[in-house]
Amino acid sequence: MLPFKTLIHLDRSLPVPVFVQLSNQLGQLIRAGTLTPGQRLPGTRQLAELLDLNRQTIVASYDEGVAQGWLESRSGSGTYVADYFPEVKPQRLIVKNSQAASDRNRGTTEQPGYAFERLDFLARPVLTNQDGLRLDDGFPDSRLAPMDELSRAYRSYFRWGNPQKHFGYGDTKGHPLLREQLSIYLNETRGLQTTPENVLITRGSIMGLHLASQVLLRPGDVVVTGETTWAGATMNFRKTGATVLSVPVDEHGLDIDQLAIYCENQPIRMVFVTPHHHYPTTVTLQPGRRVRLLQLAEQYGFAILEDDYDYDFHYLSRPILPLASADRQGMVVYVGSLTKSVAPAFRVGYVVGPTALIDELARLRRIIDRQGDPMLEFAIGQLFKTGDMKRHFRKTLRTYHARRDHFCALLTSELPDAVQFNKPDGGLAVWARFDPKLNMEAMAQRAAQEGLTLANGLFHNPPGQQLNGTRLGFASSSEDELEQSVAVLRRVI
């Protein structure tokens, strides 16, 4: 008789009922070949005594195994392993430690039993909002989000209209109300000329970048970015098999002269830009370079993927209009997000482009994510329609403007020799370059020990270069929190 008391490990602290745990483990023993096809199991009373369980628990477990097809009950004879299971040759199981044994009992494993390709360039830290002080990548302050207005809009969704329509399948391109309102808003604020048919709603700008990359790029295509750029974009380009080339970025943005040289020597399929505030350095692409970039796109036939991630936050005069506003030949794919404008948890982004491209992006989106969140999209659309969203933008713009000025003054007065920076015209972060003698990684580690989270900036370094810089986000912290953060930074430096 098998040593069931040793083979079966039941944990009454788990939320899974004991009879289900037992049934699952009997199934595992069958699949492992420990229990063979046609083998008779102990009687319910006998197994109950062995495992110190109530007999009804064993009965329920056997019934579950029969229902799952692992066991079969033979009238007057007992319970058996089903005959139709293929015979498995048991393999010796080597358990290296108690944790591995515990994982095995829970049915989990670290590695699959099949091969797959691991792409090193996808290994990138996931940014999250940490407790305590933080100088992040440029996140908004979620405490300022229009929660009351959103709550009212959500309630109206439940009260208004046909429930069958509200809670059924919707348009893959996004909720009609949000597409309509976004089209109006983008036309008013960014000088675009769109209709709702030019707008696809996505779950954040990263989905828009992914869809555009999958539709527009093929293995071997060439994409040009800045030497410093957003890794989330280049990861998507490389995943398609495209080759990524880079051009220098100076105080006026992307080096368009170098781009022109690339165009003369090889076909370029796409250029990725963040022209309003270049990521990560926050510089604005000079108007003359914008005009030439559009001219090159028309001349050589490449697409411009424009990520306008923080257009709504500009602190001087009216912000420079996006490239898409001057595009008359359909060369620009315009990507944006409300994540930075409201809160990261509200996963609402958008892609704006010619209708033929939007239709194709929607077809691809359908096999990845059937549709977005209709309730959230409706609520955001309502906020645009009522003007609440515009009021929120005006309020946060004033708040972030004051925080930028206060933070830059703190850096100047408290860290004059350690940090160099240019006060950004907009956005939610400062590009800070630290003394070359300073070890950025060690500094970030020491800051974390004192309760301050900030990035070490190593992932911003182009190949072979040491920028010793990082983005210090000021928007998500109050002025008092910024003072505490700079005090910690001064101590660890």
Query: Does 4-105 match 163-387 in CATH topology?
Result: no
Task: Note the pLDDT of residue 95.
Answer: 47
Q: Is the pLDDT of residue 128 over 80?
A: no
Q: What is the domain partition of the chain in residue ranges?
A: 4-105, 133-139+391-492, 163-387
* Residue range 209-225, pLDDT digits in tens: 999 999 999 999 999 99
Q: Is the pLDDT of residue 163 over 80?
A: no
Residue scoring higher pLDDT (272 or 150): 272
Q: Which CATH superfamily is domain 133-139+391-492 in?
A: Aspartate Aminotransferase, domain 1 (3.90.1150.10)
The structure's pTM equals: 0.76
* Residue range 425-471, pLDDT digits in tens: 888 999 999 999 999 999 999 999 999 999 998 888 888 888 999 99
Give the model's confidence band at 406: pLDDT under 50 very low, under 70 low, under 90 confident, else very high. very high
**Cα–Cα distance for residue pair 419/310, rounded to 1 Å:** 24
**Cα–Cα distance for residue pair 138/393, rounded to 1 Å:** 16
Task: Note the pLDDT of residue 413.
Answer: 94
Residues sharing a CB contact under 8 Å with residue 60, sequence separation 6 or more, in sequence order = 19
Q: Is the pLDDT of residue 323 over 50?
A: yes
Burial 376-397 (b: 16+ CB within 10 A, else e): bbbbbbbbbbeebbeebbeebb
Task: Note the pLDDT of residue 160.
Answer: 66
Give the model's confidence band at 408: pLDDT under 50 very low, under 70 low, under 90 confident, else very high. very high
> Can you name the residues that pair with 71 across neighbouring β-strands?
81
User: In terms of residues, how long is the chain?
Assistant: 493
* Residue range 23-44, pLDDT digits in tens: 989 888 888 888 888 889 899 9
CATH 3.40.640.10 fits 163-387, yes or no: yes
Q: Tell me the three state secondary structure of residue 265.
A: helix
- Write down the CATH number for the domain with range 4-105: 1.10.10.10
Give the model's confidence band at 101: pLDDT under 50 very low, under 70 low, under 90 confident, else very high. very low
Mean pLDDT over 242-251 rounds to: 94
Dihedral sign of CA atoms 217, 219, 221, 225 in order: positive
Is 245:272 a contact under the CB 8 Å cutoff?
Answer: no
* Residue range 330-367, pLDDT digits in tens: 999 999 988 877 777 778 899 999 999 999 999 999 88
Q: What share of the chain is helix, strand, coil (3-state, %, to 5)?
A: 45, 15, 40
Residues sharing a CB contact under 8 Å with residue 407, sequence separation 6 or more, in sequence order = 430, 472, 474, 482, 486
